[in-house]
Structure formats: C-alpha cells, structure tokens
Structure 1
Amino acid sequence: MEQWLAAGRGKQGRALQGTSPVRYRADVTDWLQFIEGATGIGAWNAREAHVETWVSARLRPTRTSTAPRPNSSPHNRTRRLSALSAFYTYAEQAGHIDSVPFNLLALRTTDLPRTAPLSPRETLYVCIAADDLLPGEQHHGDGGASPHRDRLIAYLMLDGLRPRQITALDLEDLNPTTHTATVLAPKGDGTEHRTLALEVWGAIDGYLPHRKPGHDDGHEPLLTSRAGKRLDSNQTPTTVLRRILGHVPDDFPLPDRVTPDRIALSPSPFTGQTWRKGTQPGEALAYRTTTGTWTTTPADHELPLQLRIQRHLRGINTLPLCTDHPQAEEAGDAEQDAICDRCDERATAWDAFEAMLDATEPACWDWPVPPYDPHQEPAQRFLAFHAGQCAMCGNQPAGDEQHHEDYDTDTRVVRGLLCTTCTAEAAEGGSHWDRYRDRHPATILGLTQTHPWLRGRR
C-alpha cells in the first residue's frame, strides 16, 4: 500500500489529487484490516461478496456522538470502491498479483446523483453576491478581511476553474496581453492554457494592490493568505464560497448545497465581456450597449437580454432587506409600516423584472434579413444572418466559445444559434422563449435543416 501511495496513481493511471491520497489510505487500510485481520481471508483471495459485506457494514462515529452509524452515502461507497480499484490495479501492474481477484464494476451502483450545474440565473446570484463584498458595495453584511481576494476567487470559480487550479495559479502564469493563464489540467498531470474572461482580469486588477506578497517554492502565488502563504485548495475556496453565499438575499433562490466544483461546472455569467465593474468604492457598473458604447445608465432597450437581466437583478440586490418580517406582529405600527414598505419595494422590483422578461422580443427579430442569393448555400445564409450573435440575447461568443445549434428535440429541426447562457436558460421557459420558438432565425429565413447541421462549417 505504501508503494502505491508513493506512486500517487489512481485506477486509470492519473495522478491522485487533493484529499484523495488521505481518503484512499484510510479506505484501503480499513479494507485490509477487515479482509486480513477480521476475516483472515486475505486481500488476494477476496471476492465480490466480501467487498459488498465490507462496504455495507463499515461504520463511522458521528461528530457529536461516539455511537457508530452506517456510512451509506452513495458518494462514499463509490469513493471506497475507487480506492480498492486503484490499489488492486497498481498491485497487478507492479507484478504482485496476476489479476484483480474480483469484479468491482459489478458492485457499483447506478443511482449515484451527479453534480448538477447551477442555472445561469443562479450563477449570476453568486456573481452579484461576490461584488457585494467590495468596500462601499456591501448591502448584506461585512465583506470580510480580504474582500478583493475573495471576490477574485469567486470570479475564477464562475469562469470554470476548480479549487486546485485556482490556488495553484502563480503571478508568472498570467498573461494580461493575451488574456490567458497557464492552469493545471482538471484531471491528472500537466497544464493547459485558458482564456480568462475580461471580468476576471478586472477582478485581478482590483486585487493586486491589496495582495500580500509571498513566495512558495520559488514561485509567487497569485492568491495569498494574510501571512503571505499559498492558500489551501481543500479549505479556503469552500470557506470563501460559504462567506459569499451569506450575501445572497433570501429571495434569490439557490439550491441547498452549492460547492466550488458545482459552480465551476455551471454556465458562466460573463456573457461576452459586455459589462465591467469598477474596483474602487463608488464606481458604478458600466454596460456595453448594442451599439458598442459604454454607459452606466443605459435604457433597457439598448442592452442585450442577458445584460438587462443582470441590471434588473443587481438593482434588486441594492434594495433594503426586510429581515424582521417574521417578527412583524411583535413590531410597533411604525416599524411594521416600514417593514411592509421594504417588502412592497422588493415585490414591485421583482414584478418589474418579470414584466421585462415577458415583454422581451428575441434579438433576431431586429436583424436585417439578407437578400436572397440562389448561389449562396443555406448554411452561409444562416450564419450571415446571425453575424456571430446569439439569436435570443444578441451577445457575441465569449473567448474561444462558439454558439450552440438550438433545435426542436422532437423533429431535430434547427431553429437558431444560442449562446451558452441562453442554451441553459431555454429549459426554464417563459413567454419570451415562446416568442422565440414561434419565430426563430430558421423560420425568418425560410430554412428547414436538421441537427447536426453546421458542424465543420464555422
């Protein structure tokens, strides 16, 4: 077992990362004590029934009591089976055994809940709460000792980076000229180049003047503790996220369990770098209108749909919360009136938000229809009509992304090109999406093509 842990390899030969070596050691040690000591069968003579007995009967004490309880989490079961698989695979590859004595695949459950991504609206709530940390911007509590750093951590999560990738970033990994960063590969060894959203670079610029200088093995970590040390990837991102989620108002609904990995897997709220947030107190949000100009006070009709959504939700976030509402009956008449005024103000803002969505027309309805050319291929006409824009919100793709083919799941007829955010939001429905489906780009152009259609044409 010590040889295997020293090699640091998982069941598929990938490097063990994060807390896996510690947890795998505990799991395999427990297994060996069971199969070698308790039963006397021996690790190399075990069969599927022995593994099932161990997995089902393994007990752990609770945190508040010495009484044992079954460790029945499907995630823990799968992790323990993965630990055994990695251990036995290494033993086979190292020549200690001829073959693995049992079939672990037969023991895996198929009902393991997968990590579900947040919706685009929910990731936007997290983004708004991260901005709420900045000095002069707090509406829902203190920003903490390191608000600029914590906001940057949240932005990196929202841009798709995992905790290990975030904490491993060094200053020399950043290339502001190309807006890229060298980050660790999500799985296994090696690195890769990632294009970071311009909003993330803005958060970096806001954090660097507040960064505590520090070194780690000759490198300068981007994110440092108050003592100038590199952050712990297993603890700090989770702690920071918990602090940020405390700034999300109750009427911004989020799932019960939000983790850094879940946010990294979710659609990014950075929609084509079309808004920017100042890093100094009092600096207002600026939005880029459909004409390409920047303004802090745009009219709704001047903004793409996603920016309209952001603008309305950020406005709601600044309204005073009615934290005493559950105790309204105990409050005096003057206090109760004030509480109801706050509730009414927020309710009115939410009604205005819903009315804005209901009245929204797809961006493609305002696009000029190119003249018909009998020598032009349908795909070229379709792409020329979009001109790189999302058919619903009008945004250009962010970074190296491409818009997705939206199609009817029953007939597979292509409707239009949607950005990642709108693709995810389409499932939520609404009257504005009904309008899009009634009159989408393919209908406007009189085209009928089935998915997949544009693969290799863009």
Structure 2
Amino acid sequence: MWGAGTIGPMEPRALLDTWLDTATNLRSSSRIEYRREVTRWLTWCEDQRPPVNPYRCGIEDIAAWAGTLLTDHLDGRPFDGPDALTHVAEHHRAAALTHDRRITAITQYYEAAKDRGAIRLAPDLTMLRSGVDRDAGTPRRLTPMERNVLLICIGMWGPDRARHYRRDRLIAYLLLEGLRPAEVARVDMRHLYDLGTGVWEVRAPDYEYEAVGKKHVLEPLTVAALIEYLPHRIKPADGVHTLITVQGGGPLDSGYPNLIIRQIAALHPLLAQRTPPVTADTIAHTGYWETPPG
C-alpha cells in the first residue's frame, strides 16, 4: 500500500482526466491507450466488494486486475507470478506486449498521482512485466536526448521506488558500459578489480563461467553506483560469486535487467512511449558517451 498524499487527493477519475488533458508530452495515441487502460483499472476497483481504493491498494490488486485480462492466454494456468507471465510471453507474444504496455500506462498514472499529491509513493510494478519486449533484431540506440532522460530516470530510481534501488541503478549503469543483460547477471566478483586510484575494471563473463571476456574500465557513474551498492549487497549463498545477488543469496535472473529497465523507462513519457521500446539491449547498444545515430 502506498498511502494517500499529504493533501486532499483528487478523485481518481478526475485525476486521470486532468493528467491526460494536460499531458502535452504524450502522443494522442498514447493518451487514448492510457485512458482506456487506466479506466479499466479504476472500473475494476469500483466493482470489487468491498471496493478497492486505487490510492490505498497494493501491487497484488493490480496483479489481480491484470490477470483478468490475460485469462484467455493463460491456457488454464492461474495468474500467480513470473512463471505465468513467462508462459504468456512464450506462447502469446502479442498478448504479453499488450500487457507490458498496460503496466506502463498504470505506472504513468501513478507517477501523475504522486506528482499531484494524491499518493506519497508510486508503486514498483517491475515484477508485473513479462519482459517479452526485448528487441528481436539489432536494437535501435537511444538518441542523445533519450539517453539524457534515461540518466535522469536512473537517478530518480531511489528508496521511494524500490527496496533494492542501489542494485537496480547498478544494473542500468553496467548496461551503459556495454555489458549485455546476461553478462550483467553473471558479472563475477572475482573479476572485479579496484585499482586503488578511483578506477575500477571488470571483465565481462564469457559463456563459460570460469572464462572471462572483454575488459571494461568503469565510468565514474558506474563506480559511484558500485561503491554505494557493495555494502548493501545481499550475502551470497555458498558457491555464488556473482556481483548482483538476490533474496536468498542466489544470482540474478538474466531476464531481470530487461524488466527493471522497462520500469525505469516508464517514469518519463519520452521513454515510456518510445517505439521500439527501451529495453536492456537498447541501453547496452547505446553506451555512455558514443553519439548514437539519429
């Protein structure tokens, strides 16, 4: 639950209208899609017994609503977590793409609600994404403006948005170093080197865990994120040497970088409505400073 804001909140449907009527940075097609999806969500809230307050609900409520829209694509499975989303992504790609755009619409709505004081914190809906919207071909790099906005969004991703925000920021910066999503998930602490001069190097993991690939001299932003992350790194389980660890001490799932990048990108309309979408592969192909083609 995110809680109401400090001022009297605007009625949810009125907030939707006000937001979209003044959102000059949204394309007309995005406004139509966002209005449709958020209206569906608010209607679902009103139809529950007792009704669900959209400003005081939990992520489980959004998941329950989203699941009702995927019933025909679950093939009899319950909508009970990442495995269900993986099933939809593997067998019903179009439905998964629509679902992820729906989550972006809800994310944008709650960002607008937060900006207007209706709620204190916007929900982190990362784990409600299917992750199917990875680039099928060579990703189109971000433009300089898009990259600048991405850096702002990474900076916005703080403790008010996610418990493990330090980990998420580091993932984003490692992608900007040119590491691919699967490489980010497998970066090995044994191949991370502090040169003692403020400079850090990392060897990208090869496909064999004990082998190493290209050397990356980390940019200052990545170094700062790394130094901030390390004291809060979840204690790894026995035999786990990955830099990025998750609850229980295991390694990061290779699909997570794409999920978190999609959610971070959803913070800003320029990235949220980009076609093709901003993915982890997009970031890895963009890099920090190389000027991408327009």
Greater RCO (CA < 8 Å, at least 6 residues apart): 2
TM-score between both structures, scaled by the size of structure 1: 0.32
TM-score with structure 2 length normalisation? 0.48
Q: Which structure: larger Rg?
A: 1
- Comparing both structures, which one devotes a greater share of its residues to helix? 2
